[in-house]
Amino acid sequence: MADVKEISIVVPAEEAEALRTAVASGDYASTDEIMHEALRDWQDKRHAQTGDATRLRGKWQEGLASGQSTSLDLDAIKAKGRDILARRQSGTNG
């Protein structure tokens, strides 16, 4: 087995009972197994969040590098969207 360290944790009574129930029902062999799974899930989640943040920073930098933004005519955008929707509903593509 890999190098193992023993630690103690304190959990509320409800969580301790949930751990015992999961073991008693046979879902897990031990509370250690539950904690190992929980730690793996936590590590996976942190890794995913780090990746998401890295991608977001990259997109932010791309946006900054793309230059000055221009004004948008929201009324024209809405009108174009309504026109596209009307053509789709009427069955024409022109």
pLDDT digits (tens, 9 = 90+) for 2-59: 798 999 999 999 999 999 999 999 999 999 999 999 999 999 999 999 999 999 999 9
Tokens 């977001």 correspond to 56
> In angstroms, rounded to a whole number, what is the distance separating the alpha carbons of residues 27 and 37?
12
Which pTM was predicted? 0.56
∠ at Cα 62 (58, 67), nearest 5°?
A: 155
One-letter identity of residue 46: R
| pLDDT for 46 | 93
Classify 26 in phi/psi space as left (phi over 0), alpha (psi -120 to 50) or beta: left
